[in-house]
């Protein structure tokens, strides 16, 4: 080995000794975020008012199963998504990471009529929020929307509908039966969500995990100011 090669080898060995702890930490964190838990940025308003643009949501990737990191291959499965769960998954259309609410389970008969949900023949109950409840929501342009609490079985959360949106076919579908091993997803911002009505069914193996809470939130419209009241807030 020449003197030059020996010097380069010594430098690489020295660098590895100095940085191996950091490199191993990064490697462990990457695997952790892929298969155990993650925090995802929310770039769109399709889940308003529950999740806002700028929220960082905590996703439990062990909620339903254990995957080989960086793949959709399952090593073990111990649970199934329930109606009302907020989950993340790569879109079957273009692999973009989505966050939506589970509405239809395998075998369910789901219908949407003028933005009114019907599951297995049971119509959801819609209760309009009071002025005080609307005032507490962190949503812009509130006068443009109507806000309701949507309740059907264990499903209980707030949805928002545009006041100025003329009725279209986008607000109605079905009745349709959810295929085996598939789920029907909708966004809480019903008139502005690219969900089942755009991407179709979501295969069970595509579901990466369940979103439990908001880790932190930044207001992009106000110089990325932190929304302190949303830090560590549980998701409905």
Q: 189 Cβ partners below 8 Å, 6+ apart? A: 45, 46, 47, 48, 49, 159, 160
User: In 3D, which of 176, 221, 211, 22 has the Cα closest to residue 101?
Assistant: 211
Neighbours of 16 (CB within 10 A): 10
Beta bridge partners of 181: none
**Using CB atoms within 10 A of its CB, is residue 60 exposed (0-12), middle (13-18) or buried (19+)?**
middle
CB atoms near residue 23 (< 10 Å): 10
Catalytic residue numbers read 46, 100
User: What CA–CA distance (Å, rounded) separates 131 from 112?
Assistant: 27
In whole angstroms, what is the distance from residue 216 CA to residue 145 CA?
A: 25
Task: Transcribe 38-94 into DSSP letters.
Answer: EEEE--SSTTTTTS-TTEEEEEETTSSEEE-TTSS-EEEE-----TT-EEEEE-TTT
């Amino acid at each position: 080995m020449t003197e030059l090669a020996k010097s380069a080898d010594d430098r690489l060995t020295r660098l590895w000794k100095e940085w191996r702890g950091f490199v191993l930490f990064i490697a462990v964190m990457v695997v952790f975020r892929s298969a155990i838990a993650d925090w995802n940025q929310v770039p769109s308003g399709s889940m308003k008012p529950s999740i806002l643009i700028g929220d960082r949501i905590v996703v439990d990737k062990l909620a339903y199963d254990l995957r080989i990191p960086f793949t959709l291959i399952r090593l073990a499965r111990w649970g199934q998504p329930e109606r009302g769960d907020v989950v993340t998954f790569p879109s079957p259309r273009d692999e973009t990471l989505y966050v939506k609410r589970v509405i239809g389970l395998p075998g369910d008969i789901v219908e949407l009529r003028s933005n009114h949900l019907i599951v297995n023949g049971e119509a959801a109950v819609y209760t309009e929020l009071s002025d005080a409840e609307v005032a507490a929501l962190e949503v812009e342009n509130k006068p443009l929307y109507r806000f309701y609490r949507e309740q059907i079985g264990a499903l209980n959360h707030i949805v928002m509908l545009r006041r100025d949106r003329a009725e279209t076919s986008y607000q109605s579908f079905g009745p349709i039966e959810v295929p085996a091993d598939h789920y029907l997803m909708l966004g809480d911002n019903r008139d502005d969500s690219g969900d089942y009505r755009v991407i179709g069914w979501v295969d069970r193996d595509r579901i990466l995990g369940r979103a439990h809470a908001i880790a932190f939130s930044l207001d992009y419209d106000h110089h990325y100011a932190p929304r302190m009241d949303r830090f560590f807030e549980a998701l409905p």
